[in-house]
Chains A and B, each alone.
Chain A
Amino acid sequence: MLITVIDGVALGVLLFTIALGLSLVFGVMDVLNLAHGVLFLGGTYVAVAVLGDGGGSIATLVLAALVALVAGALAGAGLSLVTRPISARGHLDQALLTLGIAFVGADLLSQAFGNEVRSVSPPAALASSVGIAGGSYPVYRLLVIVVGLLLAVAAWYVVERTRVGALVQATVADAPMVRALGVNTTRLVTGVFAAGAALAAFGGVLGAPIISASPGVDTRVLILGLVVVVIGGLGSVSGALVGALLIGQAETLGVSLLPTYASFLTFGTMALVLLLRPAGLLASGRTA
Chain B
Amino acid sequence: MTAVTTPVPDAQPTSALTGRPSGLTSRVRRDLVVGAVVVLVLAAVPFSAPPEIVNALSRILALALLAVSLDLLVGVAGLPSLGHAAPFGIGAYAAGITAKELTTVAPVQLLVAVLAGAGMSAAVGWLVVRSRGTYLLMLTLAVAELFHVLAGRWQDVTGGTNGLVGIPAITLWPGGDPVRLAGYRYWYVLAVAVVGFALVVVVSRSAFGRSLRGIRDNEVRMSSLGYSAFRLKYTVFVLAGAVAGAAGSLWAAQARFVSPTDLGFEVSALALLAVVIGGRGSLWGAVLGTALVFYVRDEIGPLLGGRGQLLLGLVFIAAVFLLPRGFAGLRLPRRRPAGASS
Decide if A and B touch, CB cutoff 8 A: yes
Bound state CA distance, A48 and B149, in angstroms? 27
The answer to whether the Cβ of B197 comes within 8 Å of any Cβ in the partner chain is: no
Contact, CB under 8 Å: B137 / A103: no
CB neighbours (8 Å) of A26 from chain B are: 134, 138
Given A100-B315, A176-B3, A288-B1 in contact, is the A93-B142 Cβ separation under 8 Å? Answer: no
The answer to whether B309 touches A93 (Cβ under 8 A) is: no
Q: Which residues of A contact B210 (CB under 8 A)?
A: none
Query: Size of chain B's interface in residues, with CB distance under 8 A?
Result: 48
- Chain A residue numbers with a CB within 8 Å of B153 are 259-263
Query: Which residues on B sit within 8 Å (CB–CB) of A110?
Result: 309
Q: How large is the interface on A (under 10, 10 to 19, 20 to 34, 35 or more residues)?
A: 35 or more
- State which residues 123-170 of B face A: CB under 8 Å: 127-128, 130-135, 137-139, 141-143, 145-146, 149-150, 153-155
A147 surroundings in chain B (CB, below 8 A): none
**Closest beta carbon of chain B to A7's beta carbon, Å:** 19
Q: How far is the CA of A8 from the CA of B312 in the complex (A)?
A: 35
Q: Tell me the dominant secondary structure on chain A's binding face.
A: helix
Q: How far apart are the CA atoms of A107 and B310 in the complex, in Å? A: 6
Which residues of chain A in 68-121 are interfacial with respect to chain B, using CB atoms and an 8 Å cutoff?
86, 88-93, 95-97, 99-108, 110-111
CA distance A155 to B274 in the complex (A): 39
The interface-forming segment of B46-54, B236-244, B245-253, B319-327 is B319-327
Chain B residue numbers with a CB within 8 Å of A106 are: 309, 313
Instruction: Report if A288-B135 is in contact (Cβ < 8 Å); known contacts: A104-B310, A263-B149.
Output: yes
Stretch in A57-65, A124-132, A201-209, A267-275 with 4+ CB within 8 Å of B:
A267-275
Does A50 have its Cβ within 8 Å of any Cβ on chain B? no
Pair A97/B145 contact, Cβ less than 8 Å: no
Q: Is A246 an interface residue (CB 8 A)?
A: no
Asked whether, in the complex, the Cβ of A107 is within 8 Å of the Cβ of B313, the reply is yes
- Contact A101 B324, CB 8 Å, known A32-B138, A267-B146, A288-B132: no
Q: In whole angstroms, how far apart are the Cα atoms of A31 and B269 in the complex?
A: 16
Which residues on the A side are within 8 Å of B2 (C-beta)?
174, 176, 286
- A92 in contact with B310 given A223-B145, A227-B142, A263-B153 (CB within 8 Å): no
Instruction: Bits for B261-277, please: 1 = Cβ < 8 Å to A, else 0.
Output: 00001000100110010
A110 to B308, CA, bound (A): 12
Q: B310's closest neighbor in chain A, by CB?
A: A107
Asked if A260 and B155 make an inter-chain contact with CB atoms under 8 angstroms apart, the answer reads yes
Nearest CB of chain B from residue A199's CB, rounded to whole Å: 19
Alpha-carbon distance between A26 and B133 when the two chains are bound, in angstroms = 11
Q: Is the CB of A32 within 8 A of B310?
A: no
- Cβ of B224 within 8 Å of any chain A Cβ, yes or no, is no
Which are the 9 A-B pairs with shortest beta-carbon distances?
Answer: A100-B316, A103-B313, A288-B135, A104-B313, A267-B146, A263-B149, A107-B310, A100-B317, A91-B134
